[in-house]
Amino acid sequence: MANVLAVLEQRGGVLKQVALEALTAARQLADASGGGGSVDAFVLGPSGMDVSELGKFGADQIMVGESDELSLYQPDSYAAATVKQVQSGDYGAILMAATAMGKDLGPRVAARLDCPLAADVTAFEAGDRLTVSRPVYSGKAVYRLEITASPCVISVRPNVFQPIENARDAATVKITPPDEEVRSRTIEIKEPGKARLDVTEAPIVVSGGRGLKEPENFNLVEDLADALGNAAVGASRAVVDAGWRSHSDQVGQTGKTVSPQLYVAIGISGAIQHLAGMRTSKVIVAINKDKDAPIFKIADYGIVGDLFEIVPRLTQEIKNLRRA
């Protein structure tokens, strides 16, 4: 493995948490491969971005392309600029987070470079050969892929590679993105109307399902998330299809994949399609009145009982502990 280009994501000119995760993964990949590969952080966005902390998280160089046209993710322009950067350097891997942006950008870059793409990676082993792993078949199997071509594009699952400080004396280099014929343009990204973290980025996700009976009862889930702090609220597809929650909250095969430190499933049966989106969470707590609910098969802690009794008590206990 030669050098690694870490393509990092910003929103509103501020680096996202997944940017530091992708940079940490890039650093680990470069170091594990031996040979002293360097890591170039690559950020496209509006003028005046603060990228200074990237040196703290392992970047040897910080390449910044600033233009108001690039404030929002633009598929054609971002792909063209990334490819230009790859072609101007000696990179063995192009690494990014498997977010909505990374899932769109990764294949575009791989196609333009005619190189392999390994998506949604959760682990890699580097040495003479690079092998990456990712869960497949709704998390029932782990797929290991040996990558023999160079360069390759790798997207890493959010919340798996925790940011690790690894200070470098990184120089910042301004780059000029190429003029690219734009076939489609992002004109707006609608943020959810609440000041909550996205489920893919939060260290804690509290999710609710059909067991809540009514959309109004999601306040129990919201209250528990508030008591825990730094938590996002997720949902099963059943309640999203019923219009109780937005699709942006949906966890699972046709929703988002999450890997938080703590996942709390409330009134969720644990259908395989739901498990596909959350089974790599570090600690899973399930609350369900059916002791045979499939969610208990993968839960680290299970509470069998009525959520309408358990959740308010749990919330109160957490508040008491936090006050103590």
Ligand X SMILES: Cc1cc2nc3c(=O)[nH]c(=O)nc-3n(C[C@H](O)[C@H](O)[C@H](O)COP(=O)(O)OP(=O)(O)OC[C@H]3O[C@@H](n4cnc5c(N)ncnc54)[C@H](O)[C@@H]3O)c2cc1C
Interface positions with ligand X (CB under 6 A): 209-211, 236-239, 250-255, 267-269, 271, 273-274, 277, 287-290, 293, 306-308
Q: Which helix (H) or strand (E) holds 3?
A: strand 3-8
Q: Cβ closer to ligand X: 37 or 252?
A: 252
Rounded distance, CA 247 to CA 3, Å?
38
One-letter amino acid at 269 equals: S
Structural tokens at position 177: 């993105």
Structure tokens at 139: 């998390």
Q: How far is the CB of 266 from ligand X (least distance, A)?
A: 7
Nearest CB to ligand X, comparing residues 80 and 276: 276
Query: Smallest distance from the beta carbon of 239 to ligand X, in angstroms?
Result: 6
Strands 152-156, 141-147: pairing is unpaired
Please state the closest distance from residue 237 (CB atom) to ligand X, in A: 3
Distance CA 210, CA 208 (A): 7
- In eight-state DSSP terms, residue 282 is S
Q: Closest separation between CB of residue 11 and ligand X, Å?
A: 24
CB contact set of 245 (below 8 Å; sequence gap of 6+)? 208, 215, 218, 233, 235, 239
Q: How far is the CB of 285 from ligand X (least distance, A)?
A: 13
146 burial type by CB count under 10 A (0-12 exposed, 13-18 middle, 19+ buried)? exposed
The closest of 115, 105, 117, 110 to 78, measured between CA atoms, is 105
For residues 135 and 277, which CB has a smaller minimum distance to ligand X in the complex?
A: 277
Q: Kindly tell me which of 140 and 322 has the beta carbon lying closer to ligand X.
A: 140
Q: How far is the CB of 171 from ligand X (least distance, A)?
A: 43
Nearer to ligand X, 72 or 276 (CB): 276
Distance between CA atoms of residues 53 and 61, nearest Å? 12
**Pick 28 or 236: Cβ nearer ligand X:** 236
Query: Closer to ligand X at the Cβ: 52 or 254?
Result: 254
- At its nearest, how many Å lie between ligand X and the CB of residue 181? 36
d(C-alpha 263, C-alpha 299), whole Å: 9
